[in-house]
Amino acid sequence: MEPFIAMKIAILGAGAIGQLLAHQLATAGSKPVLLVKANQVEVDTPFVIEQQDGRKLRHFESYCVTDAQLPEVELVIVTLKAYQVTAALMAWLPKLPKQCHILLLHNGIGTHLELASRLAHHGLSLGTTSQAALKITPHTIKQTGTGITQFGHYCGTPISDELQQLLLTAIPDSCQVEHILTALWHKLAINAVINPLTAIEDIPNGALAAEKYQYTISAILAELMQVAELEGIELDGQFIAGRVKQVIELTADNYSSMHQDVAFQRPTEIDYINGYLVKRAQAHGIQLFHNQQLWQQIQQLSQH
Ligand code: KPL
């Protein structure tokens, strides 16, 4: 445990996943800090996690409320929603050391394209997680599901071996993968089907197992496979379809994040999910009927 303590990991995004990772890093002996604005958290209130077995643990009590700790940060894990990432990171980057590494961990794809040319000195890794947590109060989360976490190098200087080892030790079922974009496309397929359909139909994930949705699900995935091929991403169509079906079954009672965003009139991640597919298809000179329609329908629902 001892060697990790000196490593400064900052988490940008104090939501459920950001706090979950902070708890996991703290358990592994590191002292994570949350990059939050001074008025976003109560400085003296500790963060608490309720585990799946009901046990409550109190963990980290460290925040970045002053700029003093920032020059020591070696890794920033960004757990914001995709549409918040670029603006937030651009605001924090001038205060962070040039060599600090960035790891993006969110639903959807596209922020790496927005950021790559703007991260002059910083190495960039991308990741995806299927761990699940709910934010109960600003300082309390409940872990609602275990899952795998994958991360891998995208551009610039790779993450140091020490930091990588810390992440692998701290985050249960985590691994470093060589083709991280392929892993992100696997998650994209799940989100491109489940998120917009559950939000539009106002149903829990499990309802998508019904026969009447199977044609649309296949059509969304066929378009995704077409774009992946044009992007040079190798995907196995059968595996992807099987994985989507499996997640629908495993998360049957859940309401997807997009369902909740629409229900609570919050912005959605649609631009980085089906919107990303449509934009990449257009870049290759093709139109996507089904994904375009879902993108528009969610945009319309968000306006109401
Ligand atoms: O990632 C999800 C989400 O809701 O955003 C799934 C896997 C679809 C679970 O609900």
Q: What pLDDT score was predicted for residue 52?
A: 82
Q: What pLDDT score was predicted for residue 119?
A: 87
Here the ipTM equals 0.97
Q: List the CATH number of the domain containing 17.
A: 3.40.50.720
Whether 172 and 237 share a structural domain: no
Whether 169 and 218 share a structural domain: no
Decide: 125 and 177 in contact? Cβ < 8 Å.
no
Q: What pLDDT score was predicted for residue 62?
A: 61
Q: Which residues contact 107 (CB under 8 A, 6 or more apart)?
A: 81, 82, 187, 191, 195, 257, 269, 272, 273
- How many folded domains does the chain comprise? 2
Domain extent, residue 231, equals 182-303
Q: What pLDDT score was predicted for residue 39?
A: 66
Q: What pLDDT score was predicted for residue 192?
A: 98
Whether 151 and 73 share a structural domain: yes
Whether 38 and 173 share a structural domain: yes
Whether 59 and 108 share a structural domain: yes
Q: Which atom of ligand 1 is nearest to the CA of 254?
A: 10
Over residues 146-185, the pLDDT tens digits come to: 899 999 999 999 999 999 999 999 999 999 999 999 999 9
Any atom of ligand 1 within 6 Å of the Cβ of 150 = no
Query: How many Å lie between the centroid of ligand 1 and the Cα of residue 93?
Result: 29
Domain boundary among 178, 195, 211: 178
Q: Which residues contact 169 (CB under 8 A, 6 or more apart)?
A: 4, 28
Any atom of ligand 1 within 6 Å of the Cβ of 257 = yes
Domain boundary among 178, 208, 229: 178
Whether 273 and 149 share a structural domain: no
Any atom of ligand 1 within 6 Å of the Cβ of 24 = no
Domain boundary among 157, 178, 199: 178
Decide: 127 and 167 in contact? Cβ < 8 Å.
no
Whether 28 and 164 share a structural domain: yes
187-to-122, 169, 273 alpha-carbon distances in Å: 25, 23, 10
Decide: 46 and 58 in contact? Cβ < 8 Å.
yes
Q: List the CATH number of the domain containing 244.
A: 1.10.1040.10
Any atom of ligand 1 within 6 Å of the Cβ of 82 = no
Query: How many Å lie between the centroid of ligand 1 and the Cα of residue 7?
Result: 31
Low-confidence ranges of the chain (pLDDT < 70): 1-7, 38-43, 60-68
Q: What pLDDT score was predicted for residue 66?
A: 60
> How many angstroms separate the CA atoms of 71 and 68, rounded?
7
